[in-house]
């Protein structure tokens, strides 16, 4: 049986609207879902945390920490058709002086992998960062073996900015750590600026 916050029709506040998904606020009731996702070795390997399987207590600590941390903005990713939580997306290390931040995303629901939800979530989070946080550049890291993530980031408009060859070992093979970035100019027009209607009408 699905968790209560994953049942069809469950109400979630729609913070950043998209076409097939929207970004919503974290809720304490989400934590058991996160614990189930992040105990999956495949998911944590793709996130560069090979061998990790997080407990409910660890996820509760994470929730408490990010809820207080002003340098992190984290949203849940919700499907529009059935209001189901499928992942999280964050802007971390937000530096308002340099106008940059690091993006991180996890699609925890493996049944929707490869369906384009990750690219849309990345675009929505970047739009939020550029429009509402006044960022100029957003960057991210991914491991060289995570080809699915790379394609999602390229589709979202990111470009490769560099590589570190001291990436992780997996099954006896070493993989690069890949840096990608996108700027406000490269992103294009905002799709969420209309949420502040008076400002838009006065332009």
Domains of the chain and any CATH numbers: 4-202 (3.40.630.30)
102: pLDDT strictly greater than 60? yes
Between CA 154 and CA 116 the distance in angstroms is: 12
Mean pLDDT of 17-46: 96
4: pLDDT strictly greater than 50? no
Other beta carbons within 10 angstroms of residue 202's beta carbon come to 6
Query: Residue 37: is it exposed, middle or buried by C-beta count within 10 angstroms (0-12/13-18/19+)?
Result: buried
> What are the pLDDT digits (tens) for 68-83?
998 999 999 999 999 9
- CB 89 within 8 Å of CB 100: no
């Amino acid at each position: 049986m699905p968790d209560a916050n994953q049942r069809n029709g469950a109400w979630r506040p729609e913070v950043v609207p998209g076409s097939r998904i929207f970004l919503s606020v974290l809720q304490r009731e989400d934590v058991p879902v996160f614990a189930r996702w992040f105990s999956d070795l495949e998911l944590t390997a793709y996130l560069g945390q090979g061998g990790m399987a997080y407990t409910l207590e660890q996820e509760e600590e994470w929730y408490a920490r990010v809820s207080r941390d002003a340098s992190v903005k984290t949203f849940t990713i919700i499907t529009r058709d059935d209001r189901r939580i499928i992942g999280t997306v964050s802007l971390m290390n937000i530096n308002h002086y340099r106008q940059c931040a690091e993006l991180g995303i996890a699609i925890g629901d493996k049944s929707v992998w490869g369906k384009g939800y990750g690219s849309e979530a990345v675009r929505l989070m970047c739009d939020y960062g550029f429009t509402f946080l006044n960022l100029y550049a957003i960057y991210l890291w991914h491991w060289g073996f995570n080809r699915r993530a790379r394609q999602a980031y390229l589709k979202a408009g990111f470009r490769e900015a560099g590589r570190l060859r001291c990436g992780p070992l997996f099954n006896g093979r070493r993989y690069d750590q890949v840096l990608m970035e996108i700027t406000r100019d490269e992103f294009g027009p905002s799709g969420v600026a209309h949420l502040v209607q008076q400002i838009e009408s006065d332009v």
